Amino acid sequence: MRALQVSRSVGRLGLARVAGALAPAAAVRVGPLDLVRIDPPELPGPGWHRVRTRLAGICGSDLSMIEGHASTYFDDWVSFPFVPGHEVVGELDDGTRVVLEPVLGHEARGFPPPFPGAAPGDGDDYAHLATGHLEPGIQTGFCCSTGGGWSEQFVAHTSQLHRLPDDLPDERAVLIEPLAGGIHAALLAAGSASVQRADAPVVAVLGAGTMGLAAVAGLVRYAPHVRVVVGARYPHQQRAATALGAHHVGPAAELARAVRRLVGCHVVGDHLSSGAHATVDAVGSAASITEALHITRPRGRVVMMGMPAEVTLDLTGLWHRETELVGAYTYGTEQLSDGTAARTFDLAVDTATAIESERWLSATYPLTDHVDAIAHAAQAGRRGAVKVCFDLRVGA
Amino acid sequence: MPRPGFVLHVDTQTPPTLVWRGEGMSLEQLPADRSRVIYAPEPKPALDDIDGAIRHALLHPIDQDPLPALLTPGMKLTIAFDDISLPLPKMRRPDVRQRVIEAVLDLAAEAGVDDVHLICALALHRRMTENELRHAVGDRVYDAFAPSGRLYQHDAEDPQNLAFLGTTPQGEEVEINKRAAESDLLVYVNLNLVAMDGGWKSTATGLASYRSLRHHHNPATMEASHSFMDQHRSELHKSNWRMGQVLVDSGVKVFQIETTLNTDTFPAPFEFLSKREWEWNARDRATYLGTAKSLALAPPRLSRKIFQGIEAPHQMTSVQAGEVEAVHKVTTEHVYAQHLVEVDGQTDILTMGIPYICPYNVHSIMNPILVMCTGLGYFFNMYRGKPLVREGGVVIMFHPTEPDFNPVHHPSYIDFYEQVLADTTDPHVMSEKWERQYAEDDWYRHLYRTSYAYHGVHPFYMWYWGAHGMRHCGRVIIVGGNAKAVRRLGFVAATTLTDALEIASDTVGPAPTITHVHTPPILMSDVR
């Protein structure tokens, strides 16, 4: 079958990093990603299914890996060669359409779940991600045993699959996975003590690519008492955030002042004297984390949704202001404000329909045009796009 | 003998007209046979003996006792003076304020008055730096009073140092600086740059608080002032005069000293900027070319530094002292004598080059809000009788209108631009919806009181300043303006004058009459 595959090559990763600074397409050409013909992965055991890819999204974490920016942290949590692609809508052998919850959790790896009914992402010991009968891999798309969505087919465990209703189109469904990530980050922000204590809490969202927009959608839908302030770099992102119902949307450079106006505080040096009760950083750079720390009030929470890799930060303000710095990786089981629990993916399915998430799907490419597709995704903001996908449906 | 103002009717032989574009300039060819250019009167001659004239005014005031007769040992004397917003550009040393204050202090010393405070009447403007204060009052006065805390700047946000004096019959609250209100004598040292300055505006505005100012710095007053420069038709003027009566009724004794300046605006090598183009000699043409080309290539910061460093050679043309209203009547005559130009009839399109400076960006940046204020607030209102442009006509300004702000001087302007103008450009709507939030913002208040920031509400006032112009005109176009910023202001950007005229044709037809105000130097049109 045809597949895009990432091989372990330090030299090509280094080349990609250099070339990526010049042009995303150059990084793809010289980097560790190749369009290859490989055998489909074997089914690892009972409860596993063969999934034929219909649509597979290109995520920021995929780009980071291809462009050689991913942290060495992942060296022990992924296994090469792997086929990327974790935002996937596919089809089982019996024709059932499914969306993938990509985390290779306890059940997929043959371990008992941490609690009855746990989602793949739940648990407080990640040993299972690197052990068991599968090669290491935090999720589908980074594990050589399972394959990934950037190929004609891959394998997935029953615990990872969500059957799609007939009236939910592929183009909407392919946004469910990123929406789940955004909702998880939104609920982490909304669940912070700082937000919980406030009468009129303010949550800032820094960045409005797919994940930033997903966080906004999550905040508006599942934390309606929160005033959401969004800093979005591009006009189409601003329009999308506004359409989702954010309280205030403006250019990213104006976010700090917008937060200040809303909470009515001072500016002292680089920091707001108070600030947002929580901030979701949907960018993941040193600059964005720094900005998030500057605009979050003392004892507030910064939720890092964007994958940061290696950054240099001045954390004096974090120390002085007792800021919580919290990561937001994927999804699991959420505690909602009404006291009930829900799987993030279920919330994301509902949200995808409520917001008609297919609006965010900007372009689709065949696998053979992967250089153009990845370049498009890497420049999504400036090219007016939100989500770029591979389309492997028959006839596409 | 200086020549009066002049209206030039443009024909095919007319040389191109100099047009300001912020910290740049260009020559523009106006359409022949339907355009005219208004040139300012030449500068009036300066007084021969300025210090003598000042002393004479203090000893022979109008409708008031001579100053020495008002000065007694043990009295509390306050001298208030105009802030950095005038004159424009700043004048060469010695500043008029220094000359007048030194003369007053000499008389106070002769009379044995010890309790003397000097207060810069800045209202809601930014505080002046030490260097700026030294420039205005002179080193001798500064060194004698500032170290002991007797030379300071009005703080409109210091409730302990404000005095509420009452209300006008219209319900306007009058609250001014407490020291000034409670002094045995308040001497006000004014510098009258335009007809709107001076009179009761000096004290009722310059020493007032937001509580007072909001009664006349609002869209309704501004829209009803036709124009600010015409006392008889200015609601702003009338409100200040009503407040002045409250000052009188509550026992505030004011000795008003008003001065007027000529319009000798630009020193060498920039004299050509004040000349009429057909009278440019070879050197003027060469200087223009060199200046325009250099400015086009220079980074904005450098151009700004060059222009903001200009010290104007303008000099005093009159000084009068005494009772506020009687003094101001004479002052206004002197101002009109310098500024007025008779103009026959209105025009379809009014064009104006916006220079690098206005009262609110001395040593600072002319941000987009100040561009609007300078064009529609000041230049548009420089008329008596009727506006130069007909109702529903078009105003074309020239300015880069970059969204650049000085964060120290204009912090609330940045928020105003990002938040308020993104929501509305309607002065009435923003007044209702946003003004109070900005006026009471604790951070802006802090910066106004302790840094060098204009008060939080100030950008609103600048916007209101243009309310009459906005309401009157059918369209506003900014040639050379940053398209995004110009759109944010609610106007239309054009690349060239030709494009602007094409855009304007939708409003005023294909062959409109055009009038260009060739300012600075300052001029005021007396439209018949």
Spell out the domain ranges in chain A: 2-164+356-391, 179-342
Residue B460 domain-assigned (yes or no): yes
Answer whether residue B227 is part of any domain: no
Note whether B415 contacts A264, CB cutoff 8 Å: no
Query: In this complex, how many residue pairs, one in chain A and one in chain B, have their CB atoms less than 8 Å apart?
Result: 23
B395 and B514 co-located in one domain = yes
Domains A2-164+356-391 and A179-342 share a fold: no
The reply to whether B69 falls in a domain is yes
Answer whether residue A289 shows pLDDT above 60: yes
Asked whether residue B270 is assigned to any structural domain, the reply reads no
Looking at residue A325, what is its pLDDT? Answer: 97
Strands B347-355 and B17-22: parallel
pLDDT at B228 over 70: yes
Q: What is the count of structural domains for chain B?
A: 2
Architecture of A2-164+356-391 per CATH? Alpha-Beta Complex (3.90)
Dihedral sign of CA atoms B375, B379, B384, B385 in order: negative
Q: Are B422 and A250 inside 8 Å of each other by CB?
A: yes
A258:B414 CB<8 A? no
Q: Which of residues 223-262 of A touch B (CB under 8 A)?
A: 250, 254, 257-258, 260-261
| Residue in chain A lying closest to B445 (CA) | A266
* Claim to verify: residue B110 and residue B34 sit in the same structural domain: no
B352 and B477 belong to one structural domain? yes
Kindly report the CATH number assigned to the domain that includes residue B115.
3.40.50.11440
Expressed as residue numbers, the domain containing B492 is 6-39+344-527
Length of chain A, in residues: 396
Predicted local distance difference test score (pLDDT) of residue B122: 98
B474 and B369 co-located in one domain: yes
Domain-ending residue, one of B215, B233, B261: B261
Q: For residue B415, give the chain A residue with the closest CA.
A: A257
Chain A residue nearest residue B438, CA to CA: A261
Residue A395: per-residue pLDDT: 57
ipTM of the complex: 0.85
Based on the domain organization, do B32 and B146 belong to the same domain?
no
d(CA B137, CA B104): 12
d(CA A170, CA B417): 42
Question: To the nearest whole angstrom, how far is the Cα of B415 from the nearest Cα of chain A?
Answer: 7
Average pLDDT estimate for A351-378? 96
Cβ separation A257–B414 shorter than 8 A = yes
B153 in the same domain as B109:
yes
How much is the average pLDDT of B369-376? Answer: 98
A243 to chain B, closest Cα gap in Å: 16
The shortest C-alpha distance from B125 to chain A (Å) reads: 20
Q: B191 and B73: one domain?
A: yes
**In terms of domains, do B436 and B522 share one?**
yes
Which of B238, B261, B284 corresponds to the end of one domain? B261
- What does the block give as tokens for A362? 């900007």
- Residue B222 resides in a domain: no
Q: CB of A326 within 8 A of CB of A188?
A: yes
B419 contacts A258? CB cut-off 8 A: yes
For residue B137, pLDDT beyond 70: yes
**CATH number of the domain bearing residue B505:** 3.90.226.30
- Burial class from Cβ neighbours inside 10 Å (0-12, 13-18, 19+) for residue B279 reads exposed
Q: What is the rounded average pLDDT for all residues in chain B? A: 97
Q: Decide: A105 and A119 in contact? Cβ < 8 Å.
A: yes
Identify the bridge partners of residue B492 per DSSP, sorted by sequence position.
B477
Instruction: Say if residue A41 is preceded by a cis peptide, omega within 30 of 0.
Output: no
Check B446 against A257: CB less than 8 A apart.
no
Select the residue of A250, A254, A266 nearest B443 (Cβ to Cβ). Answer: A266
In chain B, pLDDT over 70 holds for what percent of residues? 100
Please judge whether B415 and A250 are an interchain contact, meaning their C-beta atoms are less than 8 angstroms apart: no
Residue contact B418–A258, C-beta within 8 A? yes
- Residue B453 forms part of a structural domain: yes
Residue A22 is predicted with a pLDDT of 76
| Amino acid A396: pLDDT | 53
Q: Confidence class of residue A306 from pLDDT cuts 50, 70 and 90?
A: confident
Asked if B366 and B466 sit in the same domain, the reply is: yes
Contacts of B446 in chain A (CB under 8 A): 266
Give the β-pairing of B115-121 and B254-261: unpaired
**Mean pLDDT of all residues in B436-454:** 97
Mutate to test the interface with B, among A257, A259, A274 (most CBs of B within 10 A): A257
d(CA A53, CA A34): 18
Residue at which a domain ends, from B227, B261, B295? B261
Q: Decide if B442 and A264 are in contact by the 8 Å CB cutoff.
A: yes
> pLDDT tens for residues A46-91?
999 999 999 999 999 899 888 888 788 888 899 999 999 999 999 9
Chain A residues near residue B437 by CB distance under 8 angstroms: 261
Averaged pLDDT for residues A290-297: 98
Contact B443 A260 (CB under 8 A): yes
**Residues A279, A306: contact at Cβ < 8 Å?**
no
Within a domain: B321: no
Strand partners, A246: none
Does B10 share its domain with B91?
Answer: no
CATH number of the structural domain A179-342 = 3.40.50.720
SS3 A124: coil
pLDDT at residue number A367: 96
By 3-state DSSP, what share of chain A in percent is helix, strand and coil, each rounded to 5? 35, 25, 40
Is residue B334 a part of any domain in this protein? no
Is the CA virtual torsion B266, B269, B271, B277 positive or negative? Answer: negative
pLDDT beyond 60 at A220: yes
Reported as a pLDDT band with limits 50, 70 and 90, residue B175 is very high
Same domain, B25 and B97: no
**One domain for residues B12 and B150:** no
What per-residue string of b and e applies to A364-377 under the rule 16 or more CB within 10 Å gives b?
A: bbebeebbbbbbbb
- 């506006």: which residue's tokens? B387
Q: Which residues of B fall within a CB distance of 8 Å from A258?
A: 418-419
pLDDT digits (tens, 9 = 90+) for B260-302: 999 999 998 899 999 999 999 999 999 999 999 999 999 999 9
Is the Cβ–Cβ distance between B381 and B227 less than 8 Å?
yes
* Chain B residues close to A254, C-beta within 8 Å: 418
Question: Contact, A180 vs A328, CB < 8 A?
Answer: no
Query: Which percentage of chain B shows pLDDT scores above 90?
Result: 99
Distance, in angstroms, between A251 CA and closest chain B CA? 9
Mean pLDDT computed over B90-113? 97
